[in-house]
Structures are given as C-alpha cells and as structure tokens.
Structure 1
Amino acid sequence: MIANERPVIADSLWNATANPAPDCPPLVGDVEADLAIVGGGFTGLSAALHAAEAGLRAVVLEAESPGWGASGRNGGQVDPGLYVDPDAVEARFGRDVGTRMVSLMGGAGQLVFDLIARHGIQCDARPVGWIRAAHNAAALQDIRGKVAQWQQRGADLRFLERDELAAMLGTDSYVGGLIDMRGGNLHPLNYTLGLAEAALRAGAGVHGQSRVVSAGRDGAAHVLRTARGSVRAGKVLLCTNGYTDGLAPPLAQEVVPVRSVQVATDPLPPDVAASILPGRQAPSDLRRLLLYFRMDAAGRFIMGGRGGYGDRVTVARMEALRRVSVKMYPQLAPFGWRHAWGGFVAVTPDHYPRLVRMGPGMMAGLGYNGRGVAQATAMGRLMAEWAAGRPEAELDFPVTEPQPIPFHALRRLGVAATVLKYRMLDGLGL
C-alpha cells in the first residue's frame, strides 16, 4: 500500500512488488550543498545522479519517500518523444531549438535503458518497443503521419497493419498502429528506487520525510528549511510535477494535476498470460481518454486510464477499466483483480513540458503529460547540466518565465467538463 494516501488509490501493485528501498533518512541539521533538489521522483533523482557525477554536492529533499508520487505509480511505459509531433515542434520553436528538443526527447527512452544498464537497476526493464494503437480511421491517419515524421529523422519506428498489430496485442480491438523500438517498459517504482540508490552511490544526499516548509535567500545562497533541518545551496531545482504545492508560487499554476488510475489482475495461468501481449510491449491508444495496458513480470494484466478527483468517480472509473479489459481480452473474465491505485499526472495546456526560470539560481522542470518515465529522466539530466554551469541558451529545451494557467482555481470543473466531452466523442468513435 502507498503510505499516507487515500485508500481508494493506495493499493499499488508496484508497492506490493517493490525492491527494498535504499536508506533515505529525514534531513536532520543544517547542510551546505552546491545544489538542493525538491522532489524525489524521476526528475529530481535523475538530476541528483547526474549532478553528483559532475562533481556537485547535491541534496534531494522528498516530502514522503522516493517514488511516492507519480514516479512510483505510473504504468511504467517508456515513451520516446514529446506528445507533440516533430514537425509541429520545429514549426513552433524554430529549426535550431525545435530540432534539439526533438532529439533530446526522442532519445529519452534510450537514456532510461542506458542508466538502468550502467547502474545495474533491477526493474524488469524491457526495451521491446512502445506501441501506439489506433481505435478508428482518423487515429490511424494520425499514426501514419507520426511514422512518416519520425522515419524522416532516422528513428527506429514503423507502421503496423491491423493483422500484425492484432498478433502483437492478442486482440483485434484496434485498426492499426505503430511500434517505436526506442521505447519499452519497466517497473516504475523499482526504477525510481534504483535511481535513488545510484544517486547515493554517486555521492548525493537523498532524504525522505523531509518536506520543504519554506524557501528563502541568504545573500547569494538559497536556504530550504524542513521540520528538522535546512539546506543552504547556490542553486535549487524544483522537481515536484503533479504534486507541486505553494512552496514557490506561481509554479503550481503551470500545470493541471489530473488523476490517472490502474487496475491489475492476480497472476494469470501461463497459457492465458502467453495469449496477451506475447512480446510484452506496453501499448497505449489514441483515444482522447486513452487506455494503456501491459503485462508485468509475474503475468499480471494491468489496465490504466483516466480517473476522477472524487472517490466515488474514481471507483467507477476503475470498474470501467476492468470491463474494457474483459471486452478486449475475454479470457480475463474468470480471474480476480487484486490491485487498484492511482496518482496525479501533470498536464499542460499545449502538451509541452516546462523548464521554468524561478529566479536567480532556481529552476523548475515539470508537466510531462503522461510521458514522465522518459521525459522526466531527460529533464533531470538537463537541469543537472544547468546546475553544473551550462548556459540556458545552450540547453536542449527552452527556458521560460512562469506562465500561470488562467482561472487555475477552477481547474477541477474544467477537467470534469473536458472528460465528459471526450468520453462522449470517444463513445461516438469521433
């Protein structure tokens, strides 16, 4: 179970199957560092690891335990690339910056698997490719465009006709798709714990149960205070994503936290497990309220999708995921569903992540729109490069001033209305 979480979203398969966590005690006393990092998820731990390897004294302050938030709860899909297609990225940001953004995030999946190999992280890593599945003709046309754009850039990605996709999925629920061999899947909490252990071995400090209660300046230095200690550092990285609070306003207004939920079966008999996703890819589809699904190492089937803010709506969405799973894979009908959990995805209005300048010596990275395993790992490395002295203009992602979302206080009403609209359009097949 996820500690200190609402029971309806706390029964996580990943927590139930997690490796032993490294020792990350609460911060006690006053510490001097080159770099203080708020948040112990993919972004913060990747930043800490890369900063420590660059010779910086880095300290991570995590309010709960490493991987407590979205990094330890997600579907474990290693999705290469930005949410936005490469042509649109380059059209918006220009050939120079846009090309660097596309390259950075297109290679983010390989970065994840390279880190896992280099540090010996035991997280059931499977670089078997990532599948996008089209549920109708319009989505299939979108898939063809994605394939063409990435192939023009030399990516190992190809189109899948309906029959080939059905053989890969074990269901004929989709009309075609693509496979991107730069991606794959993993156990997300064990990957997070492995990053924490690697950061510790590299010399970083990683402290759980160390919520930052205030952030201030003392001359040129930043001072972050927790209940039992403080960190004084020249630079600060804010890496809290969908769990961003009011520590550094207006950062929380940069993203909209949207709950995603998952359900998982008991381990299936070997013959049933072999009939579903035999290549063990982890697909997601192109519905507006997308579905994402996979098998784990023990032969459990996992289905994920959009949740709700309230407990009653969340329970209903979890039950809907079980129903759609059995519709896609009727062989699941006799078997029980052991786990159900969820967490917040940080969504941005334009579907681009944010690298935000929060003042002298302070940077934030957040807003991965459901692609955090790869994107957050890459963003953490990029932020570590900035902390080590790389100028903003040379970074492979644009740095912006804070851009609060208008009427952010009404975000829950807006999300509920959007979900209702999208559910109707998906139901009509539009």
Structure 2
Amino acid sequence: MPAPFSDPIWRKSQAASTFQSLFPSGERADVVVVGGGIMGLSTGLHAARLGLSVQVLEAGEIGQGASGLNGGQVIPGLKYDPEWLLAHFGPERGETLVDFAASTADSVFELIRGEKLAVPFVRNGWIQAAHTEVALKAAANRDRQWRARGADVRLLSATEIRAMTGAQGYLGGWLDRRAGVIDPLAYTSELARIAAAAGAKIAERQKVVRLKGSAGVWRISTEDGVQLQAKAVVLATNAYTDGLVPGLAETIVPLHSFQIATARLPPDFSATILPEGQAVSDSRRILVYYRKSADGRLVLGGRGRMALPTSTSDWAHLERALRRLYPMLSEIAIEKRWFGRVAMTPDHLPHIHEPEQGLLAVVGCQGRGVGLMTALGGRIAGYLQSGDARQLPFPLSTIQPIPFHAFRQVGVAATIAWYRLLDALER
C-alpha cells in the first residue's frame, strides 16, 4: 500500500490492466519471475518471445514499487566510465560492459517506438551539472572517454548550461544526448501489457514466501497459498529484496529517493526552465536530479531519510534545493510529494547471482534502473534459454553479505547528513 504522505505525480491510466493470470496447479512453467517491476517484466517479455513459458509474480500492484515511482530519467552507462571498466574487468569483459552500458537507453526508447507504447517521453539528453571545478574536470574526463567511442556527448560552458537548465550555480557540465525522460509508471504498465500479450502470465498481489529447489525443479509458494513449479526462478525484487534467498538482502543497502513536483509552471517560467526537456543530475555529494513532466511541472528528487516519512517536512531539503536552483519558483506551490526505494551495492555495480542451479537474482540499479534493467532483462532471458553465460554482460558473482549489515544503514544515514552539510558549505 502507498505510504502516508506519499502522493506521486505518475498515475495509471483508467485503461491500465490488472493482472491475475496464474499457471494451473500442477503445470510446470519454464520460468517464474519474482517481482513485477521493470527488470521482472523485461525478463518475462523477452523470455516469452524466446518461446519460454513464464509466470511473473508481483507482491503488490504493477508499478507500485520503484519502477513506477522513480524520476523517469533514462540514462545510459554505469557509475563508472569506459577506462575504469576496462581496467577493472579486463579487456574482453570490460569491452562487453562498455558496449552494454552504452546501449541501455537505446533499449528503452527503441521499445517505446517499436512497440508503439503509450508512454510520454522526450529524448533530448541528460545533463550532468558541475557546481565545482573538480566536478568540471571529472566531466571533461568523462566526455573524453565517451567521445572517443563516438557517443553523442559534449561539454557545456557556464553560459550554455544556464541557457539549457535555467538554473543558478553551475560552472558548466556534460550533455549526453543518448538519454531522455519518460513517464515511469506508464512505461512499467505498458511493459506488463506487452509481456502478457507475448504470452507471459502475470499475477499481482502474489507475495512469494518460499522457494525450494530439488532435482531440477523449483517449487514456489505464495502468501495466499498458491503453489507453482518451474525449471528456473528469477528474483527481480532489487531494493525490495527480503529473506527469500539467504544473505541476498544483506548484499545491498536500500535507500529512499524522495521527490517533489511543482504546480504546472506558468508559460514564462516554462520557456526558460529546461526549455529543451533534458533531464539533469548535479555533481553534489548528495545529488539532486530534476526534469519537467509531460504536463509542465518541475519534478525534483534526491536522497531522503532512511525511515519512512512522517510529515511533509521530510521533503523540506528538496524544497530548499529547488529554491537554490530556481529562486523565481519560490511562490510556486509544491503539489506532489512521494518516494521510492533504490538499491545500492558497496562497489556501485549491479550484481547477478546464481546461488543454486536455476535460481538467478539481480540487485543493484544504482539509480539508473530504467535503462539498465530494461536491457538486462533481455540478457537474462537469453541466458535462461541458452544457458550460455556469455549472454550476461556482468559476470556471475557469489552472494557476499556486507559485514555488520545491520549497522550499515545507521552509518549511511550519518554519511548522508555529513555530505549534506559539506554540500551546503559549497554554496
């Protein structure tokens, strides 16, 4: 259920489907996917189109989790640039990862266009805005690496970034024209629709509580008593991962990403604030990200408190960031406040685990889940069909719980508070 004080801007259309399709008792599926977000639905779609029989089980409603609550920024790449990936993973795997990372936004926009999905989108790029000289040098390094690979990117001067964002306080930045923005709830809903049309069975409000593998068969039990069998299981719960697979939840740190949306901007403001519709992320330690919605609001997000919000004051830090960037909007009402959950791994990379034969788990979007999980779903489906690990861009890794995980969130909360103070001093 939606949490108190959470009122997202993204709304399901009245025509959006509900899903209650289950395999008949005793019939074995090729794949059961646990989690009906972007990762799970992309896997289900591609697996069904490869001829596999698929069941997707979603604990809540489609789009209720982070897939339908995020900021809708579709950004290619990973947290790391090509040279780091090559050095860390070696020439062969590194090149595979660089090519994969470069393609993730394409996978989203090609799907929207090719399938004629009812998803509002703008593909005019993503701006990484630099507020210090150090950040500007990092942007120049990133630009050099991607430009050498033919990416449609360029550096922005202070004048250019002011014209493209309308915001104050940036020394320059970096524009990646491969990126764009979408309505994430519409996208997740449409992914479910076409996955079902491809033959995947999807059931909402079916929380999986037990997995047991034996003799090449997985038995899946839900809270409501549904019993299913499958040759393979894909756990696609990411930041909502619980104890279903021992140790998996302890490999990630779930964080809350809070967002606000203004009232619709007056025409004179709308003409100067993100006039070309780019997405923006800044270079602060606790970054903020923002964009315009299809109906003309400014949507701004960033890290929030670790606990669930208890009042609208829990979004106050975002309202301050909005006023810092756009002082002219101080009188514009904040009409929507909401939050979602994201999963971070200690090395800031996605992880693919296969703790037992036929059991796959994927965690760690690092805030780039729309493109990353769309693209990764197709690769996971290919691996399920062929058994060829070369289908996977990331190497399979063992589950390694974070030491003292129970105390990790306390440490993260303290770090966020410290970084927010440092960011305030850099005004």
Q: TM-score range by the shorter chain?
A: over 0.9
Does 2:319 match 1:322? yes
Larger displacement relative to structure 2 (106-115 or 269-278): 269-278
User: Residue type of the partner of 2:356?
Assistant: G
Does 2:300 match 1:303? yes
Decide whether the 8 Å contact of 2:126 with 2:175 is kept in 1: yes
CA shift at 1:427, angstroms? 2.3
Separation in 1, partners of 2:372, 2:175: 18
Decide whether the 8 Å contact of 2:129 with 2:173 is kept in 1: yes
Decide whether the 8 Å contact of 1:27 with 1:210 is kept in 2: no
Decide whether the 8 Å contact of 1:53 with 1:202 is kept in 2: yes
Matches within 5 A, 1:25-40: 25=20, 27=22, 30=25, 31-40=27-36
Separation in 2, partners of 1:401, 1:295: 40
CA shift at 1:114, angstroms? 0.6
Q: Which residue of 2 aligns with 1:137?
A: 133
Does 2:389 match 1:387? no
Does 2:339 match 1:354? no
386, 392, 400: which one aligns with 2:397: 400
User: Residue type of the partner of 1:242?
Assistant: A
Larger displacement relative to structure 2 (382-391 or 296-305): 382-391
Q: Which residue of 2 aligns with 1:247?
A: 244
Q: Which residue of 2 aligns with 1:172?
A: 168
User: Residue type of the partner of 1:13?
Assistant: I
User: Residue type of the partner of 1:421?
Assistant: W
216, 220, 241: which one aligns with 1:220: 216
CA shift at 1:317, angstroms? 4.3
Length-normalised TM-score, structure 1: 0.95
**Matched residues, number:** 425
Superposed CA deviations along residues 339-393 of structure 1, whole A, max 9, x for unmatched, are: 1000111001111111111210111111011111111111111111111114114
Separation in 1, partners of 2:40, 2:271: 37
CA shift at 1:243, angstroms? 0.4
Q: Which residue of 2 aligns with 1:121?
A: 117
Q: Which residue of 1 aligns with 2:87?
A: 91
Decide whether the 8 Å contact of 1:36 with 1:58 is kept in 2: yes
Q: Which residue of 1 aligns with 2:340?
A: 343
Separation in 2, partners of 1:338, 1:26: 36
Separation in 1, partners of 2:88, 2:20: 44
- Partner-residue secondary structure (3-state), 1:338: strand
User: Residue type of the partner of 1:330?
Assistant: P
Does 2:88 match 1:103? no
Separation in 2, partners of 1:296, 1:284: 15
TM-aligned CA distance change 1:313 to 1:81, over 3 Å: farther
Larger displacement relative to structure 2 (46-55 or 213-222): 213-222
Does 2:18 match 1:23? yes
TM-aligned CA distance change 1:104 to 1:28, over 3 Å: closer
- Partner-residue secondary structure (3-state), 1:11: coil
Separation in 2, partners of 1:379, 1:132: 24
TM-aligned CA distance change 1:390 to 1:154, over 3 Å: farther
CA shift at 1:232, angstroms? 0.9
User: Residue type of the partner of 1:133?
Assistant: A
Separation in 1, partners of 2:248, 2:75: 25
CA shift at 1:264, angstroms? 0.6
Decide whether the 8 Å contact of 1:306 with 1:317 is kept in 2: no
Decide whether the 8 Å contact of 1:307 with 1:314 is kept in 2: no
CA shift at 1:262, angstroms? 0.2
Separation in 1, partners of 2:162, 2:314: 26
Separation in 1, partners of 2:82, 2:421: 29
Q: Which runs of 5+ in 1 are unaligned?
A: none
Separation in 2, partners of 1:53, 1:125: 25
Q: Which residue of 2 aligns with 1:376?
A: 373
What value does the CA root-mean-square deviation take over the aligned residues? Answer: 1.7
Larger displacement relative to structure 2 (269-278 or 345-354): 269-278
Q: Which residue of 1 aligns with 2:258?
A: 261
CA shift at 1:39, angstroms? 0.4
TM-aligned CA distance change 1:223 to 1:360, over 3 Å: same
Length-normalised TM-score, structure 2: 0.96
TM-aligned CA distance change 1:367 to 1:310, over 3 Å: same
2, 7, 14: which one aligns with 2:4: 7
Separation in 2, partners of 1:199, 1:166: 42
- Partner-residue secondary structure (3-state), 2:411: helix
Separation in 2, partners of 1:24, 1:309: 32
Decide whether the 8 Å contact of 1:129 with 1:180 is kept in 2: yes
Superposed CA deviations along residues 43-100 of structure 1, whole A, max 9, x for unmatched, are: 0000001111111111100000112111011100001001111111110100100110
Separation in 2, partners of 1:40, 1:429: 41
CA shift at 1:178, angstroms? 0.9
Separation in 1, partners of 2:295, 2:63: 21
User: Residue type of the partner of 2:388?
Assistant: P
58, 72, 77: which one aligns with 1:76: 72
User: Residue type of the partner of 2:90?
Assistant: G
CA shift at 1:5, angstroms? 2.7
Separation in 2, partners of 1:399, 1:261: 32
Decide whether the 8 Å contact of 1:256 with 1:411 is kept in 2: yes
CA shift at 1:26, angstroms? 6.4
Decide whether the 8 Å contact of 1:123 with 1:190 is kept in 2: yes
Decide whether the 8 Å contact of 1:18 with 1:189 is kept in 2: no
CA shift at 1:22, angstroms? 1.8
Q: Which residue of 2 aligns with 1:189?
A: 185
User: Residue type of the partner of 1:86?
Assistant: P
Decide whether the 8 Å contact of 1:60 with 1:207 is kept in 2: yes
Separation in 2, partners of 1:315, 1:268: 21
User: Residue type of the partner of 1:138?
Assistant: V
- Partner-residue secondary structure (3-state), 1:402: coil
CA shift at 1:25, angstroms? 1.6
